């Protein structure tokens, strides 16, 4: 199975365990740029903005791969701290890389996301049945925060909980997700570590460039 190191993959997989996640606020949503600068407020705004954007896209019968790709670039990727995620996924190898090489790994993560998941997003039809409950009790240590999101589907029994990890530079962005005891960064770190030990980091970079 191909390793796809990106946080949205984890988000979609874990939320799809029960059908997908649910939107707590009616559309239209409030942009994260215009809401309170706290981890929970940002998570609520991010998730609602994504869901409402896909509802609007499908209402126009324009849920094509091209339009979904454009929406993904506009509404999902900006909320993910790909650089920090990549740094954690590479671990000690990160310090060995030049700035250009770091960007190659970051681009590999982004391209994997687009390659693997735009088609899924384009073909998902139940965005209007999605709701969100963000637990107001979050934890924060300086510029790192953890926010729990309860997941359920409208008119369905049962729910699950995922933990979104955020980092704040100039604004809060998602960099990891925990489901039960599974950390997506740790999973991808093992994947990169295996590839680098097998190929060497320079050969892996060459392979990604091809």
Distance from the Cα of residue 102 to its chain's centroid = 19
Its CATH class, for the domain covering 7-209, is: alpha beta
Comparison of pLDDT for 25 and 43, the residue scoring more: 43
Q: What is the mean pLDDT of the chain?
A: 78
pLDDT digits (tens, 9 = 90+) for 155-203: 555 566 789 999 999 889 999 888 777 888 888 898 899 999 999 999 9
For the chain, percent of residues with pLDDT exceeding 90: 31
Question: CA 80, 84, 88, 93 torsion: positive or negative?
Answer: positive
pLDDT of residue 185: 84
The encoded tokens of residue 83 equal 């650089």
In the block, tokens 């029994």 appear at 157
In the block, tokens 């979104």 appear at 164
Q: At 19, phi and psi to the nearest 5?
A: 120, -35
Q: At what angle do helices 7-15 and 184-199 cross, to 10 degrees?
A: 130
Q: What is the model's pTM?
A: 0.78
Q: At 61, phi and psi to the nearest 5?
A: 55, 35
How many alpha carbons fall within 13 Å on the CB side of residue 112?
19
Residue 162's DSSP bridge partners are 149, 179
Report which DSSP code applies to 99. H
> Picking from 33-47, 99-113, 148-162, 182-196, which range would have the lowest pLDDT averaged per residue?
148-162
The candidate with the shortest Cα–Cα distance to 175, out of 3, 5, 2, is: 5
What is the secondary structure of 137-158 as a DSSP string? Answer: --EEETTEEEEEEEE-BTT-S-
The candidate with the shortest Cα–Cα distance to 43, out of 175, 170, 158, 156, is: 175
| Gyration radius from the chain CA atoms | 17
> To the nearest 10°, the Cα dihedral for 61, 65, 67, 68?
100
φ/ψ region of 163 (left if φ > 0, alpha if ψ in -120 to 50, else beta) reads beta
């Amino acid at each position: 199975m191909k390793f796809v190191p990106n946080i949205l993959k984890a988000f979609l997989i874990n939320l799809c365990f029960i059908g997908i996640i649910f939107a707590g606020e009616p559309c239209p949503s409030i942009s994260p740029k215009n809401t309170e600068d706290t981890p929970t407020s940002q998570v609520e705004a991010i998730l609602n903005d994504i869901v409402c954007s896909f509802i609007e896209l499908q209402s126009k019968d324009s849920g094509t791969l091209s339009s979904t790709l454009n929406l993904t670039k506009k509404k999902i990727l900006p909320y993910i701290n790909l650089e920090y995620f990549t740094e954690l996924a590479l671990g000690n190898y990160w310090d060995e890389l030049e700035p250009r090489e770091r960007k190659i790994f970051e681009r590999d993560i982004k391209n994997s996301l687009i390659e693997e998941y735009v088609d899924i997003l384009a073909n998902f039809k139940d965005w209007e049945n999605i709701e969100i409950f963000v637990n107001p009790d979050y934890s924060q240590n300086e510029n790192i925060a953890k926010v729990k999101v309860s997941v359920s589907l409208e008119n369905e029994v049962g729910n699950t909980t995922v933990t979104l990890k955020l980092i704040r530079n100039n604004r809060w962005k998602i960099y990891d997700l925990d489901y039960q005891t599974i950390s997506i960064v740790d999973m991808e770190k093992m994947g990169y570590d295996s590839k680098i030990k097998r190929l060497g980091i320079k050969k892996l970079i060459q392979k990604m460039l091809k």
